[in-house]
Amino acid sequence: MWAIVPFKGSGGAKRRLADHLSTIERANLVLAMLEDVLQTLTQVSNLDGICLVSRSDEAVAIARKHDILLFSDDANDLSGAVVQAGAYLATHHHARGTFFIPGDVPLITVKEIEQAVLQHQSVTLIPDRNDIGTNGALSSPPNAFEYLFDGKSFKPHRAAAQRAGVEAAVLRLPGFGLDIDTIDELKELLHTKSSTKSSIYLEESGIASRLTTTT
């Protein structure tokens, strides 16, 4: 099982936070969250490898730092990038399965990832806490169903698996439940008092105190 982590780059990221965080603050937050995800993944015992999927210049140094594979896609959207990465891993690294994980779920844990891999059979979906988005997707073989990422992809992904002749297993994991896109989600991350790089950045940058005083 190979983990696939897409990364568009930090420039112009998280625009839904633009009313509360500056461009530089949003970029730094994105990089901190990605660090949290990759640092966790590198401690997982039952992955065959980790693939960072990105065309960003920043990705080269990040992949080198974590000693992981970098795949440069030429897709127009997230779904296409995941498909291309899965096909590449199957062809060049004999991957029998892939595990999509976004770069903005800083609270995921080693135990959760290992549990997901152990329980997985054909298609496994990990929704966000509201069962709206897809914050994790395992597929054996790679690209066993159609990816339909759009922010509200959980139900469409279940339907896509059915069309492919597979009943997707659904796994709800707390760390995967919170992806950071909105100010309320950012405040919730702060309230967890976690020791993630993301939380530390929010505290040290002064963002945490600023958000607290405006709550």
- Distance separating alpha carbons of residues 188 and 68, to the nearest angstrom: 30
User: How does residue 85 score in pLDDT terms, banded at 50, 70 and 90?
Assistant: very high
Q: What domain range is 100 assigned to?
A: 2-179
The answer to the question of residue 203 being in a domain is no
The answer to the question of residue 184 being in a domain is no
Domains contained in the chain, number = 1
CATH number, domain containing residue 24? 3.90.550.10
pLDDT at 145 over 60: yes
H-helix or E-strand containing 175?
helix 174-177
Residue 100 in tokens? 């999509």
The answer to the question of residue 199 being in a domain is no
pLDDT at 71 over 90: yes
pLDDT in tens, 151-189: 899 999 999 999 999 999 999 999 999 999 999 999 999
User: How does residue 214 score in pLDDT terms, banded at 50, 70 and 90?
Assistant: low
Q: Is 194 left (phi over 0), alpha (psi -120 to 50) or beta?
A: beta
**pTM across the whole model:** 0.94
- Distance separating alpha carbons of residues 13 and 77, to the nearest angstrom: 15
